[in-house]
């Protein structure tokens, strides 16, 4: 289901897991930034009518949502692994 986590089954060393987690978080944060800068999204959300503080809050929520989703996926993978073994 989540193919980007598949290699963890073979490299469970804490340093490698930490490195992979960091990469996935950076990928998600970059995607949130690109979505934040997208003109279609800005037009849809009427960013020109919103002050900078509210725009920053929106961006922070996108990044936090990315992190929470990652934690939920990771938790599910751990549960699957533990139930398999």
Per-domain boundaries in the chain? 15-84
Residue-wise pLDDT tens digits, 2-25: 555 555 555 667 777 788 888 888
Dist CA 31 CA 35 (whole Å) = 6
Residue 32: Cβ-neighbour burial (10 angstroms; 0-12, 13-18, 19+): buried
Q: Apex CA 30: angle with CA 67 and CA 58, to 5°?
A: 65
Confidence bin at 1 (pLDDT 50/70/90) = very low
Residue-wise pLDDT tens digits, 32-59: 999 999 999 999 989 889 999 999 999 9
């Amino acid at each position: 289901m989540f193919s980007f986590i598949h290699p963890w089954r073979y490299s469970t060393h804490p340093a490698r897991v930490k490195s992979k987690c960091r990469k996935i978080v950076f990928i998600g944060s970059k995607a949130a930034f690109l979505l934040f800068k997208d003109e279609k999204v800005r037009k849809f959300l009427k960013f020109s009518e919103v002050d900078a503080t509210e725009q920053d809050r929106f961006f922070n929520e996108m990044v936090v949502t990315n992190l929470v989703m990652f934690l939920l996926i990771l938790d599910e993978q751990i549960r699957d692994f533990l139930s398999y073994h």
